[in-house]
Structure 1
């Protein structure tokens, strides 16, 4: 079996990991169940024992990617810190999880729900909302100037953080510095004067 080194991993987990690699490398449209099967040592027809369709498999992979990134965010946050510090920590956790796992990052950043079936689109959007909620709760506590739309502010920050996947170089600033710099760009324009 191609993944015999994955001791303790279930065959379903092996399929999800292989699918993540294929989707990241080739995109959803160019990946086939046969491609994924070739990485697992599982017969192509047997793939459907674990997932009834490529769409269902992609939903499982996307959920795993979101879970990975959410866990990275949650692990970094000190709940007793002030809101700005927690936002920096959450942003660093997001960048650490995304930039240190290109397979998962590419699935989150490059696959757009709008291009998928209604059922898959709803699942992907639901996953992303769960991730965004981690930031909503912190941003709601920020001392921003009156009139600042917190939804747009959050979307601007998350967009900047997501885009690092495209331009980030490991030889450059570490994720903590990138996160702080991006937050400071928004903070300097929108924070209440104290």
Structure 2
């Protein structure tokens, strides 16, 4: 039960870490011009940063899965491989895009750390990685269901176990579509920020 959650949580956190330092490091070191001067469109720059973050997330996911598989008594056989791929990808894109938006906004490493410590970490820990939300008080169940990380982790876990605390298989499909919509909206907003040059060219 815990192993799939740990795998996808590691993927998401590494996707965020990779993209959140992409532009921030350039700002802090004075090398941001090296990213802005090449003849790349904002879309190409954004795609490259997010693709790099996803690549890191996948590499970390495979590494953590291998470590889990070597642990006695842990089985990582997949009941629904499509869910493993889709929710792993959607979670990585979600955090990679959030990381890029953070990188655009942040002016120093403390800003990035604040987002990590006060938003990303709590959402990760309150996502049902280590527990079944059905055991929670109804009010806290509602809070968990408002957390997009919950749907990523539950959907990813569904791919391995064939069961989910989201509800029925129909709910899993709805969550898969919903995450795609959220990612599309977040990507559009981040693209607009990147294209405007806000906090990058000023």
Question: Which interval holds the TM-score relative to the shorter structure?
Answer: 0.3 to 0.5
Give the TM-score taking structure 1 as reference length: 0.35
Mark the structure with the bigger radius of gyration. 1
Greater length-normalized contact order (CA 8 Å, ≥ 6 residues apart): 2
Give the TM-score taking structure 2 as reference length: 0.34
